[in-house]
Amino acid sequence: NAGVTQTPKFRILKIGQSMTLQCTQDMNHNYMYWYRQDPGMGLKLIYYSVGAGITDKGEVPNGYNVSRSTTEDFPLRLELAAPSQTSVYFCASSYSVFDRNSPLHFGNGTRLTVT
């Protein structure tokens, strides 16, 4: 059981370039999330999705876009990369936010540097 799979693991972008961070889960979870983590900081929610075709903004959505065409996939798109987007990005999934026994399952993260 692969769980949550993120690709790539590392990426260096030049300012103004674009890229898509891929996230796939095989647990049939309804909820998927993108968090970013800056050095010495906690996780900040970028976007989340409660099911295919439904997405919503989190705390720090500016500069990002998402789509959820299938239950399994939740890609994060960076348009016009900026140095402020240098961070570690974690994708996560859960069965529900209403179920207390439904913890977050995290991917291994993507370390992105924008120079």
Partner 1 sequence: QKEVEQNSGPLSVPEGAIASLNCTYSDRVSQSFFWYRQYSGKSPELIMSIYSNGDKEDGRFTAQLNKASQYVSLLIRDSQPSDSATYLCAVNAGNTPLVFGKGTRLSVIA
What does the block give as tokens for 18?
């674009």
- Residue 101: phi and psi, rounded to 5, are -95, 25
d(C-alpha 8, C-alpha 25), whole Å: 15
Residues 23-82, interacting with partner 1 (CB under 8 A): 31, 33, 35, 40-45, 48, 58
Q: Tell me the closest approach of the beta carbon of residue 64 to partner 1, in angstroms.
A: 15
Q: Tell me the closest approach of the beta carbon of residue 65 to partner 1, in angstroms.
A: 18
Pairing of strands 10-13, 110-114: parallel
Contact 109, 7 (CB under 8 A): no
Among 55, 66, 90, 93, binds partner 1 (CB under 8 A): 90
Question: 45 vs 82, which CB is nearer to partner 1?
Answer: 45
The binding site for partner 1 (CB under 8 A) comprises 31, 33, 35, 40-45, 48, 58, 90, 97-98, 100-101, 103-104, 106-109
